[in-house]
Amino acid sequence: MSGRPTRFGLTRPTETEIAAGGFSTPWDAPMIPPFPFRFRNAEILTLYWRTDPDAIAFLLPPPLEPLGDVACVHIYRMNDPDWLGPYGEANVMVGARLPGVAEGAFSPWLVLSSDAGVAHGREIHGQPKKLGTPAIEMRGDLIVGTVERNGIDVITGTMPYKQQPAEAADLKPFFDFGTNINLKAVDHIDGRPAIRQLTSRALTDVTVHEAWSGPCTVDLRGNAQLPVSRLPVLEPLRAFFWRADFTLVAGEIIHDYLEGGA
């Protein structure tokens, strides 16, 4: 097979190009963006709460270990990302480490309003993304974040509107959520396991334009397809509202279950 211009102004991919990194289907209108791609003017509501440490341990795939008893959710208004266009996202995280290898935050659930974002997260990072509607609203003197799926607001979080200025260094008081750890699981078409990995990626070129802190409320509702209530709110801790630019780059494999380790 060789590259050959078509009447549509495209070039048919070669076998070498198909086998290369960054290739996505459908080849004439790819779903998955290649790295790197930039997110500009993202607005984020980050909510921390104390939860049951046994619940965290239950959700972590071995050999990951928990870092404590705190969970968080980031509810994003992605205003201007390359490739994907504006959309909403929510990432529930708990502190985790792979002893001697990596430390950061594991994501048991993610929700997006973008089909391309769902596909990219699942295919590339192994993130457990599902379609839903995360949103941030300013309701008078209150910032309200919601995460809806199946007609149910499974997460509702609030904080006061811009009362206490914060610094970028304040945003990670419990664990480094900038390093995201995920469980990637992909099968071959015949049912054999193709990929069973723990992956890690870190946001780069992060510029925080503003940050605010305050007390928070976090309410979780049951949903069998998005069971965030498995991390019960024992004590709401702190919230941050911040606005930032960052770049999503390629990550690394930190543990390969099929190869006997990292």
> What is the C-alpha separation between 64 and 66, in angstroms, rounded?
7
Beta carbons of 50 and 70 less than 8 angstroms apart: yes
- Give CA torsion, residues 73, 78, 83, 84, to 10 deg: 70
Q: Is 129 a catalytic residue?
A: yes
Of 129, 130, 172, 184, catalytic? 129
Beta carbons of 67 and 56 less than 8 angstroms apart: no
> What is the C-alpha separation between 258 and 71, in angstroms, rounded?
29
Active site members: 129
